[in-house]
């Protein structure tokens, strides 16, 4: 069978259970509040969910961030450091100058979920894409 439409080909591969590109994470802000003692900063808590095989593009946070894994297995890596595999109950720290080069679900079959606590400048974006 000859495929005349790239869209149709992509749809058929997806329906067959394959994937051509990794799905990105779903990110939900759970809470954001001023940081006591420093009116220029805020504490933000987000929930991140990766579908099976999901990942995030390379990025950074102009913040101090602590990850806590709730479900599944994720792989994290900051530029210049070795990748780390995290499971439920594990934590990971990312500093304001770190570039997050790997952030992905380690499983192609199960979703993964984690929460992130960030201390950042009030009103600053949560994620800054890096090219």
pLDDT tens for 45-58 read 999 999 999 999 99
Three-state SS string over the chain comes to CCCCCHHHHHHHHHHCCCCCCCCECEEEEEEEEEECCEEEEEEEEEEEEECCCCECCCEECCEEEEEEEEECCEEEEECCCCCEEECCCCEEEECCCCEEEEEEECCCCCCEEEEEEEEEECCCCCCEECC
Domain made up of 22-129: CATH architecture:
Sandwich (2.60)
pLDDT tens-digit profile of 78-120? 999 999 999 999 999 999 999 999 999 999 999 999 999 999 9
Written as six digits, the tokens of 111 are 């979703």
Q: 118, exposed or middle or buried, with CB in 10 Å at 0-12, 13-18, 19+? A: buried
- What are the domain boundaries of the chain? 22-129
What proportion of the chain, given as a percentage, has pLDDT over 90?
76
């Amino acid at each position: 069978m000859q495929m005349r439409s790239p869209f149709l080909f992509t749809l058929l591969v997806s329906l067959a259970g394959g994937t051509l590109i990794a799905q990105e994470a779903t990110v939900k802000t759970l809470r954001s509040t001023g940081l006591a003692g420093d009116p220029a900063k805020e504490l933000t808590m987000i929930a991140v969910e990766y579908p099976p095989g999901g990942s995030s593009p390379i990025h950074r946070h102009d913040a101090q961030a602590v990850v806590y894994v709730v479900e599944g297995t994720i792989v994290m890596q900051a530029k210049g450091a070795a990748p780390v595999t995290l499971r439920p109950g594990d934590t990971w720290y990312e500093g304001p100058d770190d570039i997050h080069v790997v952030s992905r679900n380690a499983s192609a079959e199960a979703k993964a979920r984690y929460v992130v606590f960030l201390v950042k400048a009030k009103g600053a974006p949560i994620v800054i894409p890096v090219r």
